[in-house]
Structure 1
Amino acid sequence: MLKEIGETVKYKWLIEEVNIEKLFDLIDKWRLPLPIGVTLFKRGILTSDDLHAFFNTPLQSLKNPFHMKDMEKAVRRVYEAIISGEKICVYGDYDVDGVTSTALIYLFLKEVGANVGYYIPNRIEEGYGLNKEAINELRARGVELLITVDCGITALDEIKFAKNIGMDVIITDHHKPLESLPEAHSILNPLQPGDEYKFKHLSGVGVAFKFIMALRYSLSLNNFFKDKIPNLKKYLDIVALGTIADVVPMVDENRIFVKHGLKVLSKKDVRIGLQELKRVTGLLNTNIEVSHVGYVLAPRINAVGRLGESDRGVKLLITKNKNEARWLAEELDIENRYRQEMEKKILNDTFNKIEKLGLANKYAGMVLFSDRWHPGIIGIVASRVAEKYNKPTIVISVENGIGKGSARSISDFHLYDCLQELSDLFLKFGGHKYAAGLQLYERDIKVLQKRFHELVRKYRDVGSEKSSIVIDAIVEPKDINMDLMNWIERMKPFGQGNPEPVFCLKRVRKYQQFGFTGRDRSHVRGFVEKDGYIFEIVGYNMKEYKYFLKNYDKFDILFTPEINQWFGDRSILLKIKDFKRA
């Protein structure tokens, strides 16, 4: 059970107490530092087998794809299409998960000789998911089998239309279904009723990878491959990109995909499109980590989809031409810079509006709207607002009487369940616990604003406006050493479900007066001391702590340790999450 520790400036500190005696055998056997043992135990890693799977993440631990409902049926249909030369189209989505899913299935089907193409809808003109005009056009071009990726599970009317005009549809998706399922030939989605696949948190590209795993097995069983069987490991760079970008829990199969995919991404001979993207972003000779994908590579693939034309992201992943790859990578980089400028303007506009009208105090969940906001940027804006104010947020772009919205949530609020209770207001909506998209008439936005506020207030805990940080372990200075850092390195990749460990060090004293650095003097730097151990600290975006830190000399600190490299020297830097008066 989590209990709260003291009064702090910004966050609630929560910690779960653990019976250390339960850990001794495991810690002795694996020679784990105590803080690492406590951290892993709290994350449900309780046995030697659990530790082996967690640290080694073998590809052999991937689950049998045929445990997913309809997998055999879907594979059989694609096999028939390949053998008979039917025209197949992979229908994707314009975000990174959709783009990577599209590229993945397209590349594999191309490799096995299928007659395959792909289609990505234009975000501005067509919106999210399937639409009848596109389906009709694809049928006119001779497409007989449509494979959806990262979309389709809520497209009841569109898939019925496809069926009526003689097109089979296989859905691969990971979003939550409605009460009724589409009349598709087969549906691959671990969240659908009756699906016994044990891991329910795959991204769209994760479901797509399970599909090609099953398809490869079936083709092999039918003696399809004359030479060697395709090695799917070469596709894990694409799978890692989509998995990280979709911010799914970094546990189980997702962690396996990302850990091995990052190794492929880090290679010098990675596929030419990603090699050129690494070049334009200065990552050519870098070991790629989750942060490089989340903050550097993925946003560039996302940028083109946000602003309209998204098939350039797919082209970058599938091209084998170096000149085309270089041109596409530079285009994506330019587009991203343009997107960043637009995002900055809209964010400033949004924050000014919130502060001026006192919306953060007025609403438990915020609904913001304007006819001046680009619909491709509102998802990022919703994320920033939700993060800054710790409130579920919907941001809506209005055009011609229709509002297109992106919604983002925080850890203690199930966004999709809330939106389901408001579904009578929407023309369409879809998503999951933390993110969703929606459309509604402009005239209904004010009603949404009121009802969303009421539902958030109803379901969120009183006083939960203050964000919380869960402490993994309380440590002493002697615990903070290179052995600890080596184990933290082995815990990567980090993400939702497997975050960076957060430790607490009590009663440290200010070794010298702290300084504030950065363009707007918002990053705190300095040194702290306890029991003769001196540590360098850095805390980002902590301007509001300035007077608090000036007035006190002893603190409890929450931090994540990281390696600081300077001209070959390695030291441990404490990356501060929060301060509390000792």
Structure 2
Amino acid sequence: MSEISYKSLRYKWIYRKPECSDISELADELGMPVCITEALYKRELFNADVLDAYFKTPLKGISSPFLIKDMEKAAAAIAESIKNNTKICIYGDYDVDGVTSVALMFLFLKEVGADVTYYIPNRLQEGYGLNKTAIKDIAEAGSRLIITVDCGINAMEEVQYAVSMGVEVIITDHHQPSESIPEGAAAVVNPMREDDTSAFKGLSGVGVAFKLVMALRYKLNESGRFKGKIPNIKKYLDLVTLGTIADVVPLVGENRIIVRHGLEILSGKNCRPGLRELKRVAGIDGQKVTTTHVGFGLAPRINAVGRMGASDKGLRLLITNDREQSLYLAEELDKENKSRQDIERHIIEESFKRVEKNKLHEKYKGLVLYSEEWHQGVIGIVASRLVEKYNLPAIVLTFEDGVGKGSGRSIPSFDLYKGLEQMQDILLSFGGHKYAAGLRIEEQHITSLQKRFHKAVEDLLEPKDFVAELKIDALMEPSDVSSELMKWLGRMEPYGAGNREPVFCMRGVNKHQEPVFVGRESMHLKIFLEKNGKVFDCIGYNMKAYKDVVYGNESFDIVFSPAATGYYHGRYTQLVLKDIKPADGEWETEKE
């Protein structure tokens, strides 16, 4: 496969010519536009049967939950607890994945007649996961079964403590386990277990919880509890979709099926009252809900209350059927989100200034920033912004009483979890996965962390790994941008990790009007471009740095994704720019 590339202001553009000798012939065979065929071919989606499943995403494509290790044990134990009217507590995480997991399990268990309550720890006071104080309170309140969702896989001591208090524990999680799993748990349901042989490993926490609901429904029906009236659990896919998108797990396989059907429920008029009101305050009421709407509109508002301390409001919004309460809670979440955004914006600006002033992005291959004044609830977002701006792995910490709590984010070429494993001798605790992790460290070790994190990244990566790549699916001409193209792009949704939105390149487009910069602090580029007599309305978000490029040239090469915009009969196709460069810039060609 041959490759052409170009280094722009922000990215290295990569276009790989497909190995298929004649994409046009394959496109005719499949009945699709050439550029769509090329994009799917590069995703290894060109077999007719595979494509049929990809486009139709039937619910029967979700595999049996009993393929997951310990699922039989978990479902049987919960069914027995329901039969005996044992009080059950759902224990979850405070992020969107965790909150939706709790809501799902709580609502389903209520529906089948269980005696159930829930517990979500306070992020600032208790931190992540099971803790002994909470377990004691749960036990004293009468619960004899704790079901964890989106947490618990490494809670060795806490599970043993619960058992000593006479409380049975069932773990459901999707995070990376350590070398051993909690002893004493009645069941440990996690597709990431080394001894798990289920085919699909990419589920979110709420995805695992949904599989447990599937298994439990089967067990309860087998026991005759439903008397022929089996609950329809499809109605819960809106919750599963929220958590799946928010946790940025790959939107492939079963996740793609879940999200496709869940977005249909979210888009409908009959979605649950809390989400209907949340859509309203997020400004997406009456629209077809997309992964972007969830990721940037709905999820942040649910996340905001958890980041600021407590997730109870977010959970209550998801489980209530009362319209007045839904209205109140949606407004409260919107206010919390605005407050969170203000705090976040201040810390991001401060962190950028610190990096630039001390040239940390030039001295270190991995960034470690910390302060006693930064709010613990937003440091993960700050780490993400540092990665986006400098394309370096980043850890951000806040210290209190000599102990730092931190969040890390990474670039595709560096496995953050494995990197932190090399430093576990100086860490009080850590956990996470390749792209995101949490950690705790004593203040005396912070300098050592900075040096060793830099070295871990430097030893593993090469200079090319620090250049953000922009992968182009196909080269296009103006005639390729059509209603037919937009129809096929719609069929490829939902987009997300593992099923990214197709990105195209058009070369030699001309300036039709002088560009303008719009939005907050004039951050976004608005420009009309023309080629072969066809004019394109283009928007480039956060492209303020490109002023010299667009004002100083008349002809460009652009990388973009087409998007439908406008309202009702006035809808049209807009090109959302990913990058732009002068058309006379030379491309490099190399053979792989």
Superposition map of 1:29-40 within 5 A: 29-40=29-40
Q: Deviations over 1:185-231 (max 9, x none)?
A: 11111110111111111100000001101111111122210251000
The answer to whether the 8 Å contact 1:8/1:581 transfers is: no
The answer for the alignment partner of 1:359 in structure 2 is: 360
Q: Deviations over 1:375-406 (max 9, x none)?
A: 11111111111111111111101001110101
The answer for the alignment partner of 2:168 in structure 1 is: 168
Q: Which amino acid aligns with 2:181?
A: L
SS for the counterpart of 1:376 is: helix
The answer for the alignment partner of 1:459 in structure 2 is: 460
SS for the counterpart of 1:198 is: coil
Q: Note closer, same or farther for the CA distance 1:153–1:12 as it changes in structure 2 (3 Å cut).
A: same
Q: Note closer, same or farther for the CA distance 1:2–1:15 as it changes in structure 2 (3 Å cut).
A: farther
Say if 2:64 is the partner of 1:69: no
SS for the counterpart of 2:144 is: strand
The answer to whether the 8 Å contact 1:7/1:580 transfers is: no
The answer to whether the 8 Å contact 1:92/1:102 transfers is: yes
Q: Which amino acid aligns with 1:77?
A: A
Q: Note closer, same or farther for the CA distance 1:429–1:52 as it changes in structure 2 (3 Å cut).
A: same
The answer for the alignment partner of 2:267 in structure 1 is: 266
Say if 2:534 is the partner of 1:533: yes
Q: Which amino acid aligns with 1:118?
A: Y
Superposition map of 1:390-429 within 5 A: 390-429=391-430
For residues 328 and 509 of structure 1, the distance between their equivalents in structure 2, rounded to whole angstroms, comes to 49
Structure 1 residue 22: deviation in Å?
6.4
Superposition map of 1:485-504 within 5 A: 485-504=486-505
For residues 104 and 191 of structure 2, the distance between their equivalents in structure 1, rounded to whole angstroms, comes to 19
The answer for the alignment partner of 1:517 in structure 2 is: 518
Q: Deviations over 1:113-166 (max 9, x none)?
A: 111111000111100001011112211222211111000011111112212222
Q: Deviations over 1:230-272 (max 9, x none)?
A: 0011101111110111011111111111111111111222111
Q: Which amino acid aligns with 2:113?
A: G
The answer for the alignment partner of 2:279 in structure 1 is: 278
Q: Note closer, same or farther for the CA distance 1:433–1:548 as it changes in structure 2 (3 Å cut).
A: same
The answer for the alignment partner of 2:375 in structure 1 is: 374
For residues 340 and 325 of structure 1, the distance between their equivalents in structure 2, rounded to whole angstroms, comes to 22
Moved more, 533-542 or 223-232: 533-542
Sequence identity, in percent?
A: 52
The answer for the alignment partner of 1:298 in structure 2 is: 299
The answer to whether the 8 Å contact 2:4/2:16 transfers is: no
Q: Deviations over 1:403-442 (max 9, x none)?
A: 0101111222211111111112221111111111111111
RMSD over aligned Cα, in angstroms? 1.6
User: Which runs of no fewer than 5 residues in structure 2 stay unpaired?
Assistant: 584-592
SS for the counterpart of 1:210 is: helix
Structure 1 residue 4: deviation in Å?
4.6
The answer for the alignment partner of 1:239 in structure 2 is: 240
For residues 138 and 76 of structure 1, the distance between their equivalents in structure 2, rounded to whole angstroms, comes to 22
Q: Note closer, same or farther for the CA distance 1:2–1:260 as it changes in structure 2 (3 Å cut).
A: farther
Scaled by the length of structure 1, the TM-score of the pair is 0.97
For residues 297 and 502 of structure 1, the distance between their equivalents in structure 2, rounded to whole angstroms, comes to 25
For residues 104 and 479 of structure 1, the distance between their equivalents in structure 2, rounded to whole angstroms, comes to 43
Q: Which amino acid aligns with 1:151?
A: C
The answer for the alignment partner of 1:507 in structure 2 is: 508
The answer to whether the 8 Å contact 1:26/1:48 transfers is: no
User: Which runs of no fewer than 5 residues in structure 1 stay unpaired?
Assistant: none
Superposition map of 1:161-240 within 5 A: 161-183=161-183, 184-240=185-241
Q: Note closer, same or farther for the CA distance 1:529–1:415 as it changes in structure 2 (3 Å cut).
A: same
Moved more, 533-542 or 365-374: 533-542
Structure 1 residue 282: deviation in Å?
3.0
For residues 567 and 81 of structure 1, the distance between their equivalents in structure 2, rounded to whole angstroms, comes to 52
Structure 1 residue 462: deviation in Å?
1.5
The answer for the alignment partner of 2:145 in structure 1 is: 145
For residues 264 and 321 of structure 1, the distance between their equivalents in structure 2, rounded to whole angstroms, comes to 19
For residues 564 and 294 of structure 1, the distance between their equivalents in structure 2, rounded to whole angstroms, comes to 18
Structure 1 residue 369: deviation in Å?
0.4
For residues 357 and 4 of structure 2, the distance between their equivalents in structure 1, rounded to whole angstroms, comes to 33
The answer to whether the 8 Å contact 2:553/2:582 transfers is: yes
The answer for the alignment partner of 2:590 in structure 1 is: none
The answer to whether the 8 Å contact 2:549/2:581 transfers is: no
Q: Deviations over 1:459-481 (max 9, x none)?
A: 22223332110111111222111
Structure 1 residue 46: deviation in Å?
2.4
Superposition map of 1:441-452 within 5 A: 441-452=442-453
Q: Which amino acid aligns with 1:66?
A: F
The answer for the alignment partner of 1:18 in structure 2 is: 18
For residues 311 and 64 of structure 1, the distance between their equivalents in structure 2, rounded to whole angstroms, comes to 32
Q: Which amino acid aligns with 2:39?
A: T
The answer to whether the 8 Å contact 1:26/1:47 transfers is: no
The answer for the alignment partner of 1:478 in structure 2 is: 479
The answer to whether the 8 Å contact 2:6/2:14 transfers is: no
Structure 1 residue 39: deviation in Å?
0.4
Q: Note closer, same or farther for the CA distance 1:323–1:569 as it changes in structure 2 (3 Å cut).
A: closer
For residues 315 and 298 of structure 1, the distance between their equivalents in structure 2, rounded to whole angstroms, comes to 15
Q: Which amino acid aligns with 1:84?
A: N
The answer to whether the 8 Å contact 2:273/2:320 transfers is: yes
SS for the counterpart of 1:528 is: strand
Aligned residue pairs, count: 582
Scaled by the length of structure 2, the TM-score of the pair is 0.95
Say if 2:111 is the partner of 1:119: no
The answer to whether the 8 Å contact 1:219/1:225 transfers is: yes
For residues 444 and 364 of structure 1, the distance between their equivalents in structure 2, rounded to whole angstroms, comes to 19
The answer to whether the 8 Å contact 2:68/2:190 transfers is: yes
Structure 1 residue 3: deviation in Å?
3.3
